């Protein structure tokens, strides 16, 4: 299913809104949970202080002289502790002030092993938070706090009875608080989700109205900008191609046929590249056009070759051939300098032009110049221009020779397959030779298919 811009925008807006609402709700839920827990802890600790004062008053009213396990006084206190229940499954306990040993507990009769426990000391050693709980053992009347017990955290208030040398503890289990908070959070979460979806629906409706209102204006603006950019791009490309052709023609005009050579090379390169594109997906229309336009600069380096060498009608000496071959390096360096100055602007075109200038005289078997590259190490644009340049040179008149026929040039190129030329490019040439012949015929004014006399 095709997703249009409006659908994509609505999806993005909805996703952002949901994310913000969910994040806000989670943060509020966490904040509320922490706040409720802290508030309820405070309230329960205050209640425990009240409970423990009442318990101390009750014990003192019993006029006890001591509190030893299994004594009649202990029995009376133990019964009261067993019968008394505090909220959140809470209870009272009594410990020895000096040793911290448990004296009274609601479960003590059912579990006598509790007598061996030292709850105050164990808690003091295991968690710093209960130091406040045990502060009564260091001379204070009472203390509050929480401690980790075997069945979870307990909120505890402690009050000392100095005359009996004991401490009374009022416990409430924190798990009961957490259950209440979890229930409240579930309600808040449900209400929050409903509100979030209502806000989302309302916001989406408003967003859709705004999108529909401005969508056509944005579309028109984008269309106008695209047309303007396209016109400017075409204008810049035409200017670039004209400047390139002018520079190349200036170089060629010293010894070639004042521009027709460049036009033919452009045409031959385009024919070969389009034929190669049938089996090479990298050769798209843009790259084919780039190679064809850049081919005009293949001999730009000849501006640096002296006239005595460049215009010599006879055979060149070894020294003169060395000078002539330098035109590839001169051209490559010139284009590379332009590429450095421009930076990334027109990077692909200038890269291709440098490749062509430097490698259009390389040979497939590695005997070419200037770097003696071999096979696929020769850039593809250079291999294409190499064949096109040789074909045009063979079928054109020069000061030192007459033009060959198309048939003669074809035989020479086929003979150079795998040696001078890439075999794949020779195959592309053979598949399009009629187009080459037609272009050569228009240039010479005769039928290039006929054999030379």
Which tens digits make up the pLDDT trace of 23-48? 776 776 676 667 777 777 788 888 88
Tell me if 337 sits within 8 A of 309, measured CB to CB: no
What pLDDT, on a 0 to 100 scale, did the predictor assign at position 240? 58
pTM of the model: 0.50
- Of residues 115 and 144, the one with the higher pLDDT is 144
- Average pLDDT of the chain is 79
Sheet holding 91-96, edge to edge: 102-104, 91-96, 166-173, 152-161, 142-149
Low-confidence winner among 49-53, 90-94, 298-302, 440-444 (lowest mean pLDDT): 440-444
Nearest to 429 by CA among 396, 402, 421: 421
- Of residues 279 and 111, the one with the higher pLDDT is 279
Q: What is the mean pLDDT of residues 101-129?
A: 65
Say what angle helices 260-276 and 433-444 make with each other, to 10 degrees: 170
The number of helix segments (H) and strand segments (E) in the chain equals 13, 5
On the 0-12 / 13-18 / 19+ scale of CB atoms within 10 A, 45 is middle
What pLDDT, on a 0 to 100 scale, did the predictor assign at position 181? 72
Nearest to 413 by CA among 400, 426, 404: 426
pLDDT (tens digit, 9 = 90+) per residue, 134-175?
443 344 566 777 777 777 888 888 888 888 888 899 988 888
With vertex at residue 61, the alpha carbon angle to CA 59 and CA 66, rounded to the nearest 5 degrees, is 55
Q: Reduced to 3 states, what is the DSSP secondary structure of residue 102?
A: strand
Question: In whole angstroms, what is the distance from residue 213 CA to residue 201 CA?
Answer: 18
- How crowded is residue 48: how many other Cβ atoms within 10 Å of its Cβ? 26
Query: What is the set of domains in the chain, with CATH numbers?
Result: 5-180 (3.30.450.20), 253-444 (1.10.3210.10)
What pLDDT, on a 0 to 100 scale, did the predictor assign at position 387? 97
């Amino acid at each position: 299913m095709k997703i249009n811009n409006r659908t994509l925008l609505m999806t993005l807006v909805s996703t952002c809104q949901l994310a913000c609402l969910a994040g806000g709700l989670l943060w509020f839920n966490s904040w509320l949970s922490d706040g409720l827990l802290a508030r309820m802890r405070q309230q329960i600790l205050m209640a425990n202080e009240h409970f423990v004062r009442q318990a101390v008053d009750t014990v003192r009213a019993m006029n006890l002289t001591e509190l030893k396990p299994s004594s009649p006084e202990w029995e009376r206190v133990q019964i009261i502790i067993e019968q008394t229940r505090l909220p959140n499954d809470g209870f009272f306990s009594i410990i020895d002030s000096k040793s911290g040993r448990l004296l009274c507990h609601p479960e003590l009769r059912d579990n006598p092993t509790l007598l061996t426990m030292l709850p105050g000391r164990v808690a003091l050693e295991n968690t710093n938070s209960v130091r406040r709980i045990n502060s009564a053992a260091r001379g204070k009347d009472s203390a509050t706090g929480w401690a980790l017990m075997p069945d979870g955290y307990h909120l505890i208030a402690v009050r000392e009875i100095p005359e009996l040398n004991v401490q009374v503890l009022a416990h409430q289990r924190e798990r009961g608080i957490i259950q209440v908070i979890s229930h409240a959070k579930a309600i808040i979460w449900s209400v929050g989700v409903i509100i979030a979806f209502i806000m989302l629906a309302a916001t989406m409706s408003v967003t859709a109205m705004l999108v529909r209102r401005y969508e056509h204006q944005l579309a028109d603006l984008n269309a106008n900008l695209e047309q303007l950019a396209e016109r400017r791009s075409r204008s810049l490309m035409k200017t670039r191609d004209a400047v390139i052709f002018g520079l190349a023609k200036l170089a060629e005009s010293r010894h070639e046929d004042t521009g027709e050579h460049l036009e033919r090379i452009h045409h031959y390169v385009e024919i070969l590249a389009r034929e190669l594109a049938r089996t090479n997906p990298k050769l798209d229309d843009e790259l084919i056009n780039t190679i064809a336009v850049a081919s005009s600069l293949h001999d730009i380096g000849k501006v640096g070759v002296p006239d005595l060498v460049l215009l010599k009608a006879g055979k060149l000496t070894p020294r003169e051939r060395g000078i002539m071959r330098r035109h590839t390096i001169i051209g490559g360096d010139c284009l590379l300098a332009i590429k450095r100055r421009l930076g990334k602007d027109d990077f692909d075109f200038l890269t291709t032009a440098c490749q062509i200038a430097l490698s259009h005289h390389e040979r497939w078997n590695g005997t070419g110049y200037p770097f003696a590259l071999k096979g696929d190490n020769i850039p593809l644009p250079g291999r294409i221009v190499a064949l096109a340049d040789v074909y045009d040179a063979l079928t054109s008149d020069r000061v030192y020779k007459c033009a060959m026929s198309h048939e003669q040039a074809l035989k020479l190129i086929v003979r150079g397959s795998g040696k001078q030329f890439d075999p794949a490019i020779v195959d592309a040439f053979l598949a399009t030779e009629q187009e080459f012949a037609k272009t050569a015929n228009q240039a010479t004014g005769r039928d290039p298919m006929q054999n030379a006399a």
